[in-house]
């Protein structure tokens, strides 16, 4: 007799397990249950549906070949049974059966399984604040919410909106609101910068500027204390530690919680971070029960810590591993390194591995480089600036993380994915310096930004490059400490000279050897240019001439102009 | 006393060695000699200068901060001496000196060195054919050639041109001629497909189509035997094994030869492939002489073979290694994996590692997958098709190579660089299946094409996926062997049915279970769709129902429409 595999949850991992299993072991009987009627959708596409890039919500449920993934699709094309509107309410591990309830009739029934797969996903966190249940308060977790938000927008009911939580989904929703619908949008973030789990404060500062340039207001270090309104009119404002923000809609995107009640009630082990605990084969503490996707705890391959990482990409890959194992294989899912990307208006942002803060917390002694380079040959017409932060452990030189952003998101992703691919191999910095990437002027410089980032970070650790990072300079310069030595052409340096007088020196790069007597030896000198390249050149030259109190401003104008446009008041923006 | 480092050649590696060395060991005395007056240029940019993307040739000599890299730049900014128009004619290893000659006066002088660096680059191969010295015959190897070609174009002297050699430079030059200047351009390639060193015949076939779609004529398996013309009128035609091609200009881009005369005369070891032999520290057989860049032999990290790989990106990275070693370090350049990319009109093409042919030659037992997928979420507006070929060893499952192409070249490069980064680690296929890459709908699918390619290739090796590749189908189908089972919608299948009658069956995917009795069991069935995804689904289903003579057409219509537009006469092109 063929074995019966029961799968709970039919969004990403569930259908993947079933589809793969039917291809490998076509004798298997599979039943997939979901309490929702809308299943197997691309939840990550919701902001693009709200923002109009995707016009019909049904697009998020279609295959590449334009078939809607519903019960009959799975029956006729994938050859397994899906029962929708059926909520699994308990697992009887002794009998190997589940009890499920029809969400409309409330009627319960039970079903035996040989193997059970839990793909129960997550529940969005809705903080227990006064007013959090008012009409006009939304989370972004399924197609019903998506449709409700878009309906309200389309009916012109939202002039102002507040997005609580500056993570990826929050920023994507803010863009959707502001860009297509012209809604006055405010992002409120409790931490000191947006994308706090993905980026450090400097790279996040550049994202912040991108949001503001596109008329999204961003309030960091701000706590939401209440949603103001009443049941009739709905939301009227969000009350925060920085005052009230009037609005007609609130999106809470402050995180998600793995949906583990079913697992927990059945006595399966739950990990310290609240996800279902699984081994590398994605089996739970019961050998007949697998779990994967958003509801499990993942192992981070660099930090060694567990974490919750809800991503459709991981769910799909894990689905294959589970199916192979049920089919009798030994497939393993080793863990994650936290690859992440997001489009924020006109820029792409990506990272892999750990941020500086995460690296410190994991016990490393991290150091970083912040480099600016064109994404293609600088003489090629479509060349754009890219900014990259590379993080490594100071003593072992193990590469720990990378963050990058720029107008060409695919090119940003290219660099982060290449470095990211190496992270599980615990490579040292010299492997990044020598990393071979495809080179041709329309797609890269001869020295690609990844190689340069590797070199700069080695130079910093070796003591050749003596950096001052933009945020430190923004702190110390107003305290009257040191002078800026601007080595760009006089016209580019003039706005700084006009603003700061003698504290903003200008000696163009090529004149430095002849005018070395003008450089002060007794106070800190911050060498400054457009991207940090010339600064390093001059810093090394001055070091060679006995000047020790010289530091190069990492990223220089290319970073400063976005982090604090008032610091260097030059306005033309050209690099 | 400071040591004297003499560097021969000032294009890419030479200036890099000198610049880095001055930053690490500012006491060093460095002299850089080059027989040319135009130095330190981005030679890879020449086709873009000829094609008009770069308007001034001086752009190819400028830094990112727009300074021209000439003698005074290196003196004032980089702090070392460059002597141009000085050709080094011999090395006296015993005395540690070089003799150099002023190219204008012919006067010779000598110079002592403590350490010598050879950065002598390559010489373009000009085959010894009758007429190869006629006016109008060019190679593409320095700025003088570039300017001469562009002058002739600008003066309207070229109506037709022949590019001999279908490698990257040949294709880039063909695009430059045809696209900006409207020159009737023919590429003549001796091998059976373009980009023979980089791609297999199928992926190269798609590049071929791209060239033809943009009015570049491509003749493969064609030998050039003579350049026809006379000294007064210049080139009139290129004589080939397939007849004469009238033209006013000929570009020979049939490869380069490392410039090793100096090294050879000095008794340094030359490798079996004609490049200067170096160790991992890039030292020649003389411990006081280093060499790097295009003139050396590289070690291929997958095949273990030596090869010549002239790329500015490698030269720059090697320059740093040499400088660090001269400064007293132990830096190593491990070898290459052959990353490569090229823009061909509207598509980007990239590869890393070995082709099928190279893998076989290196003693592997390679198998491959050919997959087609959108480069971003299929519901995202700017989504485009990408095609990827992944190659692995059948028994060890070691990943050997990857080729990809598509309209979004940065996205193509992203995938190839990520897989490429792993190749030196000799990873197995499961690492590609589980490779974590950044995911967000504007930049990728939840199952990225790299993961899918890994899965498909595993499925092929495991026997789940029983492939027929497009080129095999094009061979066997006209021989009246087997039937195509088109599982797309009837309107998409109709052109095939009209052309082939009963040999082109149409059972839409979802009807297959009900109409299974129509599927022939006794002859080969080639399941066909738009990209190969549905074909696999149906192939597995039919296998499960006892049909063994069923194979899925890899890539299906998405590949066929470019490889042979007559095979499936459907013309709308939609996927």
The CB-side HSE value for A535 (13 A sphere, CA atoms) comes to 28
CA–CA gap between residue B61 and residue B82 (Å, rounded): 15
Q: Smallest Cβ distance to B416: which of A12, A438, A531?
A: A438
How far B161 CA lies from chain A's nearest CA (Å)? 24
Q: Is the pLDDT of residue B182 over 70?
A: yes
Q: Is the pLDDT of residue B142 over 90?
A: no
Contact A547/B at CB under 8 A: no
Closest chain A residue to the Cα of B382, Cα to Cα: A53
Count how many pairs of residues, chain A against chain B, have C-beta atoms within 8 Å: 306
What is the SS3 string spanning A135-171?
CCEEECCCHHHHHHHHHHHHCCCCCEEEEECCCHHHH
Closest chain A residue to the Cα of B541, Cα to Cα: A23
- For B261, the 3-state DSSP assignment is helix
Output the pLDDT for position A109. 98
> Which residues in A lie closer than 8 A to residue B464 (C-beta atoms)?
23-24
B540/A23 CB distance under 8 A: yes
Q: Smallest Cβ distance to B442: which of A343, A419, A439?
A: A343
Q: Which residues contact A411 (CB under 8 A, 6 or more apart)?
A: A348, A375, A376, A384, A386, A443, B410, B413, B414
Contact B380/A at CB under 8 A: yes
Q: Which of residues 483-542 of B touch A (CB under 8 A)?
A: 488, 509-513, 529-531, 533-534, 536-537, 540-541
Place of tokens 């033209």: B247
How far A445 CA lies from chain B's nearest CA (Å)? 8
How far A342 CA lies from chain B's nearest CA (Å)? 6
Instruction: Give how far Cα A325 sits from Cα of A19, A116, A286, A321, B475, Å.
Output: 14, 12, 14, 6, 39
Q: Which residues contact B247 (CB under 8 A, 6 or more apart)?
A: B158, B160, B161, B162, B186, B235, B236, B237, B238
- For chain A, how many helices (H) and strands (E)? 16, 30
CATH of domain B137-254: 3.50.50.60
Q: Smallest Cβ distance to A438: which of B340, B435, B438?
A: B340
Closest chain A residue to the Cα of B329, Cα to Cα: A462
CATH fold group of domain A4-122+257-326: FAD/NAD(P)-binding domain (3.50.50)
B444/A378 CB distance under 8 A: no
Using alpha carbons only, give the angle A453, A456, A458 rounded to the nearest 5 degrees.
110
CB A420 within 8 A of CB A444: no
Record the tokens describing residue B236, joined without a space: 């009139």
Instruction: Give how far Cα B565 sits from Cα of A261, B222, B301, B388, B572, Å.
Output: 55, 23, 38, 20, 11
* Nearest in space to B510 (alpha carbons), one of B491, B533, B534: B534
A439/B317 CB distance under 8 A: no
Average pLDDT over residues A98-118: 98
Domains B137-254 and B467-563 in one fold: no
Closest chain A residue to the Cα of B443, Cα to Cα: A410
> Which residues in B lie closer than 8 A to residue A343 (C-beta atoms)?
440, 442-443
Q: Is the pLDDT of residue A1 over 80?
A: no
- Asked whether this complex has an ipTM greater than 0.90, the answer is yes
CB B505 within 8 A of CB B485: yes
Q: Smallest Cβ distance to A65: which of B425, B512, B533?
A: B533
Contact A58/B at CB under 8 A: no
How far B54 CA lies from chain A's nearest CA (Å)? 6
Output the pLDDT for position B2. 83
Output the pLDDT for position B115. 98
> Which residues in B lie closer than 8 A to residue A435 (C-beta atoms)?
421
Give me the residue spans of the domains in chain A.
4-122+257-326, 137-254, 346-462, 467-563
Q: Which of residues 6-45 of B touch A (CB under 8 A)?
A: 12, 22-24, 26-27, 42, 44-45
Q: Smallest Cβ distance to B451: which of A317, A351, A419?
A: A317
B42/A438 CB distance under 8 A: no
Superfamily (CATH) of domain B4-41+54-123+257-326? FAD/NAD(P)-binding domain (3.50.50.60)
* Nearest in space to A293 (alpha carbons), one of A32, A10, A4, A80: A10
What is the tens place of the pLDDT at every residue in A17-43?
999 999 999 999 999 999 999 999 999
Q: Which of residues 323-342 of B touch A (CB under 8 A)?
A: 331, 333-334, 336-337, 339-342
CA–CA gap between residue A387 and residue A408 (Å, rounded): 11
> Which residues in B lie closer than 8 A to residue A337 (C-beta atoms)?
436
Q: Confidence class of residue A458 from pLDDT cuts 50, 70 and 90?
A: very high
Q: Smallest Cβ distance to A421: which of B76, B379, B435?
A: B435
Helices marked H in B426-509: 429-433, 449-462, 470-476, 490-500
Q: Confidence class of residue B207 from pLDDT cuts 50, 70 and 90?
A: very high
> Which residues in B lie closer than 8 A to residue A353 (C-beta atoms)?
none
CA–CA gap between residue A102 and residue B474 (Å, rounded): 53
What is the tens place of the pLDDT at every residue in A385-430?
999 999 999 999 999 999 999 999 999 999 999 999 999 999 999 9
Burial class of residue B285 (count of CB atoms within 10 Å of its CB; 0-12, 13-18, 19+): middle
- The percentage of chain B sitting over the pLDDT mark of 90, rounded to a whole number, equals 97
**How large is the greatest C-alpha to C-alpha distance in chain B, in angstroms?**
91
Output the pLDDT for position A194. 98
Closest chain B residue to the Cα of A492, Cα to Cα: B65
A437/B343 CB distance under 8 A: no
How far B460 CA lies from chain A's nearest CA (Å)? 12
Average pLDDT over residues B93-99: 98
B441/A48 CB distance under 8 A: yes
N- to C-terminal Cα separation, chain A: 70
Superfamily (CATH) of domain A467-563? Rhodanese-like domain (3.40.250.10)
What is the tens place of the pLDDT at every residue in A122-173?
999 999 999 999 999 999 988 998 999 999 999 999 999 999 999 999 999 9
What is the tens place of the pLDDT at every residue in B425-484?
999 999 999 999 999 999 999 999 999 999 999 999 999 999 999 999 999 999 988 999
How far B128 CA lies from chain A's nearest CA (Å)? 30
> Which residues in A lie closer than 8 A to residue B511 (C-beta atoms)?
76
What is the tens place of the pLDDT at every residue in B363-387?
999 999 999 999 999 999 999 999 9
CATH fold group of domain B346-462: FAD/NAD(P)-binding domain (3.50.50)
Q: Which of residues 214-253 of B touch A (CB under 8 A)?
A: none
Contact B349/A at CB under 8 A: no
Q: Is the pLDDT of residue B1 over 70?
A: no
Q: Is the pLDDT of residue A94 over 80?
A: yes
> Which residues in B lie closer than 8 A to residue A464 (C-beta atoms)?
23-24
Q: Choose, out of B2, B173, B437, B540, the residue to mutate when testing the contact with A (most A CBs < 10 Å).
A: B437
Place of tokens 């009630």: A265
A377/B24 CB distance under 8 A: no
* Nearest in space to A204 (alpha carbons), one of A397, A349, A416: A349
Q: Smallest Cβ distance to A441: which of B48, B422, B511?
A: B48
Average pLDDT value over all residues in chain B: 96
> Which residues in B lie closer than 8 A to residue A410 (C-beta atoms)?
375, 408, 410-411, 414, 443
> Which residues in A lie closer than 8 A to residue B447 (C-beta atoms)?
313, 316-317
What is the tens place of the pLDDT at every residue in B506-520?
999 999 999 999 999
Q: Which of residues 442-471 of B touch A (CB under 8 A)?
A: 442-444, 446-448, 451, 455, 464
> Which residues in A lie closer than 8 A to residue B439 (C-beta atoms)?
44, 311-313, 339-341
> Which residues in A lie closer than 8 A to residue B399 (C-beta atoms)?
none
What is the tens place of the pLDDT at every residue in B498-554?
999 999 999 999 999 999 999 999 999 999 999 999 999 999 999 999 999 999 999
How far B514 CA lies from chain A's nearest CA (Å)? 9
* 0.90 surpassed by pTM: yes
């Amino acid at each position: 007799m063929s074995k019966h595999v029961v799968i709970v949850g039919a969004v990403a991992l569930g259908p993947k397990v079933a589809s793969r299993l039917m291809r490998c072991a076509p004798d298997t009987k599979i039943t997939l249950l979901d309490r929702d009627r809308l299943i197997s959708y691309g939840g990550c596409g919701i902001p693009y549906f709200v923002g109009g890039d995707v016009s019909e919500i049904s697009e998020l449920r279609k295959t590449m070949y334009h078939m809607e993934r519903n019960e009959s699709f799975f029956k006729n094309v994938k050859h397994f049974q899906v029962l929708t509107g059926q909520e699994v309410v308990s697992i009887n591990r002794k009998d190997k059966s589940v009890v499920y309830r029809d969400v409309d009739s409330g009627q319960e029934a039970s079903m035996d399984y040989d193997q059970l797969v839990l793909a129960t996903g997550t529940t969005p966190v809705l903080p227990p604040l006064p007013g959090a249940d008012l009409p006009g308060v939304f989370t972004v977790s399924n197609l019903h919410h998506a449709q409700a938000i878009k309906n309200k927008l389309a009916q012109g009911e939202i002039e102002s909106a507040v997005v609580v939580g500056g993570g990826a989904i929050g920023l994507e929703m803010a863009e959707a609101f502001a860009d297509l619908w012209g809604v006055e949008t405010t992002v409120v973030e409790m931490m000191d910068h947006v994308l706090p789990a993905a980026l450090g404060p400097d790279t996040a500062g550049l994202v912040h500027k991108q949001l503001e340039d596109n008329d999204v207001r961003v309030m960091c270090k701000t706590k939401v204390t209440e949603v103001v309104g009443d049941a009739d009119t709905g939301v009227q404002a969000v009350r925060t530690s920085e005052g009230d923000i009037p609005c007609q809609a609130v999106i809470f995107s402050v995180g998600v919680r793995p949906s583990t009640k079913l697992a927990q009630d059945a006595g399966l082990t739950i990990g310290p971070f609240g996800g279902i605990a699984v081994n590398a084969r994605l089996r739970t503490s019961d050998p007949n029960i697998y779990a994967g996707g958003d509801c499990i705890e993942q192992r981070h391959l660099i930090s060694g810590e567990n974490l919750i990482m809800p991503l459709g990409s991981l769910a799909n890959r894990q689905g294959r591993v589970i199916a192979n194992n049920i089919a009798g294989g030994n497939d393993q899912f080793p863990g994650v390194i936290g690859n992440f990307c997001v489009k924020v208006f006109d820029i792409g942002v990506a990272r892999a591995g750990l941020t500086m803060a995460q690296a410190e917390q994991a016990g490393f002694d991290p150091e970083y480089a912040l480099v600016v380079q064109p994404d293609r040959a600088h003489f090629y017409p479509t060349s754009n600036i890219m900014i990259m932060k590379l993080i490594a452990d100071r003593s072992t030189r193990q590469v720990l993380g990378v963050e990058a952003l720029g107008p060409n998101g695919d090119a940003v992703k290219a660099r982060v994915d290449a470095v990211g691919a190496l992270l599980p191999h615990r490579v040292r910095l010299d492997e990044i310096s020598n990393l071979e990437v495809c080179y041709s002027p329309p797609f890269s410089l001869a020295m690609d930004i990844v190689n340069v980032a590797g070199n700069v970070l080695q130079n910093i650790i070796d003591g050749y490059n003596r950096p001052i990072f933009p945020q430190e300079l923004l702190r110390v310069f107003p305290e009257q400490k040191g002078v800026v030595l601007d080595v760009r052409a006089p016209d580019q340096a003039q706005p700084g000279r006009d603003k700061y007088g003698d504290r903003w020196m200008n000696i163009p790069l090529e004149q430095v050897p002849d005018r070395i007597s003008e450089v002060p030896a007794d106070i800190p000198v911050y060498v400054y240019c457009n991207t940090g390249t010339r600064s390093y050149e001059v810093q090394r030259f001055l070091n060679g001439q006995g000047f020790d109190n010289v530091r190069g401003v990492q990223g220089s104008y290319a970073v400063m102009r976005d982090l604090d446009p008032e610091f260097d008041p030059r306005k033309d923006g050209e690099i």
